[in-house]
């Protein structure tokens, strides 16, 4: 029996790349080819043409959303008779390991910051809110790193609550992929941005609903707009293994790297380890926790094997 949902009943409008590109209208391209190259993550190429066809229309849409949200805030302030400070527009970016979340986040940050009004746009990865390795080891969670239980959720909710309250100089912990750990004593300070981009695996994750109806906040409750970056499982595996092998020839060679020992392995052994890490950690997390959050996104960007975005799903309003 065909269980697919007819297009007219889907909560999303679906666009090909060319259809979406037309929605750019007259939005100017403000990034150079060199800047686009610099903003790419390792093993996540993005063409200048795709920035024009996908990310520029998205920045135009977001400009409308930010303006509309500001108007709602002003209307609420008038109704309540308050003089509250501005609240940042928060964008969440979710998706699998190796899908290109960081590249998308950096491209959007650069494009949004160059609007005519020159808004202040900050970017915070949720990796910093992982528990330190010492805590994960103590709790037997090192091979569950990236799963919902490996994050200090109260600390992440504290951060987002203070951001939405318009507080100044809100601190966020800093994570190092080189050392594979939260960096003790290091903080990122976020000082009342106009727009905040929050990027991470499980930012659209929900908890089980309480039977007594009491509110349990989710990270996504603080988002004004959310993006999910999607790709087929086998494509993601290929990208993950390719990235692992490239890191083995670069960053892993540094003796200070957490993964330095992998640089000494032969090619076949390294590939086996990369596939084991994918199959037993990242794929499990993807299926159990990440993919189930995809229907909660306002926008889904679907990538093909070449890393190019081939389809855009925009939630109907």
Cα atoms in the Cβ-side hemisphere of radius 13 Å centred on 160: 26
Per-residue tokens: 127: 């990796």
- Per the CB < 8 A criterion, the answer to whether 228 and 204 are in contact is yes
pLDDT of res. 218: 87
Q: Look at residues 173, 151, 238, 226 and name the one whose alpha carbon lies nearest to residue 196.
A: 226
pLDDT grade for 222, boundaries at 50, 70 and 90: very high
pLDDT tens for 140-165 read 999 999 999 999 999 999 999 999 99
Per-residue tokens: 114: 């160059």
Domain ranges of the chain: 9-315
Q: Exposed (0-12), middle (13-18) or buried (19+): which is 110, by Cβ within 10 Å?
A: buried
Q: Look at residues 194, 222, 35, 57 and name the one whose alpha carbon lies nearest to residue 121.
A: 194
Conformation bin of residue 185: beta by default, left when phi > 0, alpha when psi is -120 to 50: left
Paired residues of 300 in beta bridges: 228, 313
Instruction: Please state which CATH class domain 9-315 belongs to.
Output: alpha beta
pLDDT grade for 85, boundaries at 50, 70 and 90: confident
Greater pLDDT, 215 or 190: 190
pLDDT exceeds cutoff 90 at 7: no
Any idea of the CA torsion for 57, 105, 94, 126, to the nearest 10 degrees? -160
Mean pLDDT value across residues 230-250: 95
pLDDT of res. 210: 63
pLDDT grade for 1, boundaries at 50, 70 and 90: very low
User: What is the rounded average pLDDT for all residues in the chain?
Assistant: 93
pLDDT tens for 257-311 read 988 998 988 999 999 999 999 999 999 999 999 999 999 999 999 999 999 999 9
Q: Give the 3-state DSSP-derived string for 27-64, with helices as H, strands as E and coil as C.
A: CCCCCCHHHHHHHCCCCCCCCHHHHHHHHHHHHHHHHH
- Per the CB < 8 A criterion, the answer to whether 180 and 143 are in contact is no
pLDDT of res. 217: 82
């Amino acid at each position: 029996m065909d269980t697919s949902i007819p297009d007219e009943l889907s909560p999303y409008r679906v666009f090909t790349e060319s259809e979406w590109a037309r929605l750019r209208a007259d939005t100017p391209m403000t990034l150079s080819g060199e800047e686009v190259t610099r903003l790419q993550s390792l093993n996540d190429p993005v063409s200048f043409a795709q920035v024009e066809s996908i990310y520029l229309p998205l920045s135009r849409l977001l400009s409308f959303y930010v303006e509309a949200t500001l108007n709602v805030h002003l209307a609420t302030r008038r109704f309540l008779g308050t003089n509250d400070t501005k609240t940042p527009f928060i964008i969440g970016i979710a998706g699998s390991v190796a899908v290109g979340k960081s590249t998308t986040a950096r491209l959007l940050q650069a494009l949004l910051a160059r609007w005519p009004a020159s808004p202040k746009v900050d970017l915070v990865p949720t990796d910093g809110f992982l528990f330190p390795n010492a805590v994960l080891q103590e709790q037997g969670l090192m091979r569950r790193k990236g799963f919902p239980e490996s994050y200090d959720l109260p600390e992440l909710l504290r951060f987002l609550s203070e951001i939405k309250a318009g507080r100044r100089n809100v601190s966020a912990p800093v994570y190092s992929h080189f050392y594979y750990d939260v960096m003790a004593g290091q903080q990122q300070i976020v000082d009342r941005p106009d727009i905040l981009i929050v990027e991470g695996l499980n930012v659209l994750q929900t908890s089980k609903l309480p039977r007594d109806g009491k509110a349990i906040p989710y990270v996504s409750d603080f988002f004004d707009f959310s993006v999910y970056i999607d790709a087929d499982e086998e494509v993601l595996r290929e990208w993950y293994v390719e990235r692992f092998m490239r890191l083995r020839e670069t960053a892993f060679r540094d003796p200070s790297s957490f993964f330095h020992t992998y640089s000494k392995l032969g090619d076949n052994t390294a590939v086996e380890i990369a596939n084991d890490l994918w199959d037993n950690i990242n794929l499990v997390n993807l299926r159990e926790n990440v993919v189930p959050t995809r229907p909660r996104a306002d926008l889904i960007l679907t990538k093909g094997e070449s890393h190019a975005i081939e389809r855009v799903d925009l939630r109907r309003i």
